[in-house]
């Protein structure tokens, strides 16, 4: 069915990096989810009133919140592809993340409402009536939710959408919720045991847990989480495949929504190659990254004195000394400023983003090692950088 919907309603569905195709995926599978949830809500509400079941009613309200979530996702995808303007020069790509946040709040709202109702029914119980129709409806609902889990999961992976993947995760949670309601009905039928209100509490807590998971997943994206490590390695390998590039550092990716990523980085280049030639090569690399990864890239050129024998000799030595402090540390922008009484070694030290070492302490450690290993007439001028990847 997934392939059928893609071929039928998404032109050029294979081009998942295209913003228009992404939008179409979001719209098609949001509408598909709305139709499925609408069927589930209507049938469960009818059955809940027939059986007087608080757990089935809580499940129906959960599916009702899912419709609100699907609508938020639908509008999020539609607005995220809106063209940039003077007020929002980076476009509206983050609307997809905002819609994911709305999804989370709706799930939490329905979860807390169901929890309150279920707790009330524990202290003021009502008769729970068995119905064969309830069993049939719940079984069909489980099948529908499994189908939604598969469909949204495939669509989310195809276009790398946190929102659709959240919808998929919510669907599998709904399967557990509805299964709990089914257990209540069967226990009443065969063992005359009524645990409907207690299961309603469990169902509500599961819904709240699902809402919190979606909330924190989307929140991490909005706050600016680290880019995918494999993507960074692939981009670095791509850039370093060009002979003109000596090294890379200060790579930063700014995420303004799916298909709206911007990257800045520094590339070390030979200072003796004409600037016009190096600039042309950098332009080509930027264009290659845009075409291959869909990332708008700006590269800063750092000229390296490739003929300075002292730089060639001292850089690997200083690198090893820095790695003695911490093997995850590295250096870049290394140069030597000579003087009549002493030499200055000027360089940046790159440390992991989670490393909280005091910068002055780190500089002193490295400076002391340099004086011990290289000579007392060598002073270090160090800038400490934190990695953004």
pTM (2 d.p.): 0.61
Query: For residues 296 and 87, what is the distance between their CA atoms, to the nearest angstrom?
Result: 20
Q: Are 131 and 47 in contact (CB under 8 A)?
A: yes
pLDDT single digits (tens) 93-117: 777 777 778 778 877 887 787 788 7
CA distance 210 to 198: 19
pLDDT band at 7 (very low <50, low <70, confident <90, very high): confident
Tokens 């020069």 correspond to what residue?
A: 89
For the chain, state the CA radius of gyration: 29
Encoding tokens for residue 270?
């030979």
344: closest CA among 367, 362, 364, 321?
Answer: 367
- What pLDDT score does 315 carry? 93
Could you tell me whether strands 343-351 and 330-337 are parallel, antiparallel, or unpaired per DSSP bridges? antiparallel
For the chain, domain boundaries: 2-223, 229-386
CATH topology of domain 2-223: Alpha-lytic protease prodomain-like (1.20.1510)
Mention every residue, 6+ apart, whose C-beta is less than 8 A from residue 271: 303, 304, 305, 306
| Residue 32 CB neighbour total at 10 angstroms | 20
Nearest to 257 by CA among 294, 285, 289: 294
The answer to whether 103 and 69 are in contact (CB under 8 A) is yes
- Nearest residue to 263 via CA among 294, 233, 217: 294
The whole-number pLDDT of residue 111 equals: 79
Q: Which range among 37-41, 141-145, 223-227, 375-379 shows the weakest confidence by mean pLDDT? A: 223-227
Query: 157-171, 238-252, 336-350, 370-384: lowest mean pLDDT where?
Result: 157-171
pLDDT of amino acid 282 = 95
CATH fold of the domain at 229-386: Alpha-Beta Plaits (3.30.70)
List residues bridging with 302 in a β-sheet. 268
Over residues 368-380, the mean pLDDT reads 93
Least-confidence region, from 32-41, 125-134, 148-157 = 125-134
Beta bridge partners of 385: 350
Smallest CA-to-CA distance from 167 within 155, 182, 179, 180 is with 155
- Mean pLDDT on 131-148: 87
- Say what the pLDDT of residue 258 is: 63
């Amino acid at each position: 069915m997934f392939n059928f919907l893609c071929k039928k309603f998404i032109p050029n569905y294979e081009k998942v990096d295209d913003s228009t195709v992404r939008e179409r995926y979001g719209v098609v599978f949001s509408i598909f989810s709305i139709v499925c949830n609408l069927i589930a809500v209507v049938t469960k509400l009818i059955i809940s009133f027939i059986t007087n079941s608080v757990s089935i009613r809580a499940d129906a309200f959960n599916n009702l919140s899912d419709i609100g979530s699907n609508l938020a996702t639908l509008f999020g995808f539609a607005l995220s592809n809106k063209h940039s303007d003077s007020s929002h020069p980076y476009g509206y790509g983050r609307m997809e993340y905002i819609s994911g946040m709305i999804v989370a709040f709706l799930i939490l709202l329905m979860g807390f409402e169901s929890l309150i109702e279920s707790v009330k029914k524990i202290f003021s119980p009502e008769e729970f009536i068995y119905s064969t129709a309830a069993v049939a409806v719940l079984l069909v609902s489980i099948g529908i939710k499994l189908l939604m889990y598969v469909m949204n999961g495939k669509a989310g992976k195809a276009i790398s959408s946190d929102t659709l993947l959240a919808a998929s995760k919510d669907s599998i949670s709904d399967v557990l919720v509805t299964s709990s309601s089914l257990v209540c009905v069967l226990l009443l039928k065969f063992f005359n045991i009524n645990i409907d209100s207690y299961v309603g509490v469990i169902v509500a807590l599961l819904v709240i847990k699902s809402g919190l998971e979606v909330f924190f997943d989307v929140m991490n994206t909005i706050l600016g989480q680290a880019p995918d490590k494999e993507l960074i390695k692939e981009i670095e390998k791509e850039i370093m495949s060009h002979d003109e590039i000596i090294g890379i550092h200060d790579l930063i990716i700014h995420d303004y929504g799916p298909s709206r990523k911007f990257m800045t980085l520094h590339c070390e280049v030979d200072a003796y190659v004409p600037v016009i030639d190096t600039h042309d090569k950098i332009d080509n690399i930027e264009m290659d990254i845009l075409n291959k990864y869909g990332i708008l890239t700006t590269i800063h050129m750092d000229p390296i004195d490739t003929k300075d024998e002292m730089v060639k000799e001292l850089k690997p030595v200083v690198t090893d000394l820095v790695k003695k402090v911490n093997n995850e540390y590295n250096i870049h922008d290394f140069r030597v400023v000579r003087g009549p009484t002493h030499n200055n070694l000027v360089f940046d030290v790159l440390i992991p983003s989670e490393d909280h070492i005091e910068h002055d302490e780190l500089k002193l450690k490295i400076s002391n090692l340099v004086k011990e290993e290289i000579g007392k007439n060598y002073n270090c001028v160090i800038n400490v950088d934190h990695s953004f990847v």
